[in-house]
Amino acid sequence: MEHNLKKYGWQEKWQKVWNSHNFTMDYIPARVIADFGNSIQVASDNGIHSADTSGRMTYNLEDSQLPKVGDWAAISLHNQVTTIHHVLERSSYLARRGADQKYEEQIMATNIDLALVIQSMDDDLNINRLKRYLFQLGRSQIRTIIIINKIDKDIDWQTKVSAIKQAMPNQEIIAIQATDPQSLDKIRTKIPIGASAVVLGSSGVGKSTIINGLLGIEKQRTQEVRLDDSKGRHTTTHREMFVLPNGALLIDTPGIRELQLWGTLEEIKDIDSNISEIATHCRFSNCSHNDEPGCSIRQAISDGTLSKADFKSFNKMKNEIEFLNSKLGPEGKRAHKQKQKNLHKMYKKISKEKQADKDLFF
């Protein structure tokens, strides 16, 4: 039987984490390899299983603590029923703010070694969006490679790629054409054997085409980009992990048009370390960078060492994180506590109903 744990990235460090928990003999380790919304798939030494979380996890944990693609978990196999009982500590994770105006942390993938952030030349190139990805990935110190796809769509692609490199001088950037095997080789050589890489980007940038090319098979469904607005159709609707021929792992994610930020006030300085450093030289520690005397930010903009566009982007992200944290204050915590109480009451009610059903037969 193929050793599925090693195939999906099980290493000695994870064995040590597992051993530290002293789990019951009924539990075995597994990795979450797909999340379809209403069902989860895990891989263990016994094969691939559809799994559910235990009642304790479902009703006592926040969504961000529940199993996500990339997680290592303790599962039990009993009468063809697979149950997830515990999620091992994560080495890294990618989060964003939940959709629909929810001020909740949404985990997109976990235990990531590398992120491939993909943009394309056909009306998708956006430096500010790239900065948002880099901030979120930087929170877990996840190594990131920016991939600019569809260079055949713009005869001036080299100038635009140079502009991105100038804006992000320390960031690794690769320009490719996904249908070209040599271009795919540039990506393939960047993903170490056994490493877990997450693929990110808007719909239509060529994520599925790139994954299919790296896999060597037509695994992910692709669709044409709409000609009227260059926006791709959502071909990926769930998160799933794939094993590449060389033993590396890829996590595909649904297209993201706008990445909502999630972070703490302390992490604001990580949005742009250059701007944060310049701000430390302002005369006043609470400088708003408007009309105060001795403002280093205004001076940097005036002498050309800082662009207005970069500072505007910084302020937008800073204000977004400050607003988010204002929503996570005492009132937000009280609402969350009440939500947990309601879930606990529901769980107790369901348990009593199940016990009543059993009593009818005994």
- Mean pLDDT by runs of 10 across the 362 residues of the chain is 80 96 94 92 95 93 94 94 96 89 88 96 88 95 96 93 91 95 94 95 91 79 46 63 94 87 93 93 92 93 93 94 86 54 60 54 45
* Nearest Cα residue to 235 out of 260, 210, 261: 210
Query: Which of these, 146, 149, 202, lies nearest to 176 by C-alpha position?
Result: 149
141 & 233 share domain = yes
C-alpha span between 23 and 25 (Å, rounded): 6
One domain, residues 220 and 133: yes
How many separate helices (H) and strands (E) can be counted in the chain?
11, 13
What is the pairing mode between strands 40-44 and 47-53? antiparallel
Token pair for 153:
């769509």
Residue 171 is given by DSSP the state S
* Alpha-carbon torsion angle 244, 247, 250, 251, nearest 10: 120
Residue 213 confidence (pLDDT):
94
Give residue 255's pLDDT. Answer: 85
d(CA 224, CA 201): 16
The DSSP code sequence of 314-356 is HHHHHHHHHHHHHHTSHHHHHHHHHHHHHHHHHHHHHHHHHHH
309 and 335 part of one domain: no
What pLDDT sits at residue 122? 83
**Parallel/antiparallel/unpaired status of strands 143-149 and 114-120:** parallel
- Asked if 131 and 26 sit in the same domain, the reply is no
For residues 246 and 116, membership in a common domain is answered with: yes
Task: Note whether 113 and 221 are same-domain residues.
Answer: yes
* CATH code where residue 273 lies: 1.10.40.50
**Same structural domain, 144 and 77:** no
Within a domain: 31: yes
- Partners of 242 in the β-ladder: 250
Give the DSSP letter string of 7-22. HTT--HHHHHHHHHHT
Domain check: are 243 and 135 in the same one?
A: yes
d(CA 343, CA 334) in angstroms, rounded, equals 14
Give me the residue label for tokens 């993201």.
256
What is the model's pLDDT at position 80? 87
Nearest to 205 by CA among 187, 175, 225, 191: 225
**Pair 49, 110 in one domain:** no
- Number of structural domains in the chain: 4
Residue 19 counted as domain residue? yes
Asked if the structure places residue 96 within a domain, the reply is no
> What burial class does residue 300 get, using C-beta atoms within 10 Å of its C-beta: 0-12 exposed, 13-18 middle, 19+ buried?
buried
Determine the pLDDT at residue 231. 45
> Which domain, by its residues, includes 18?
4-87
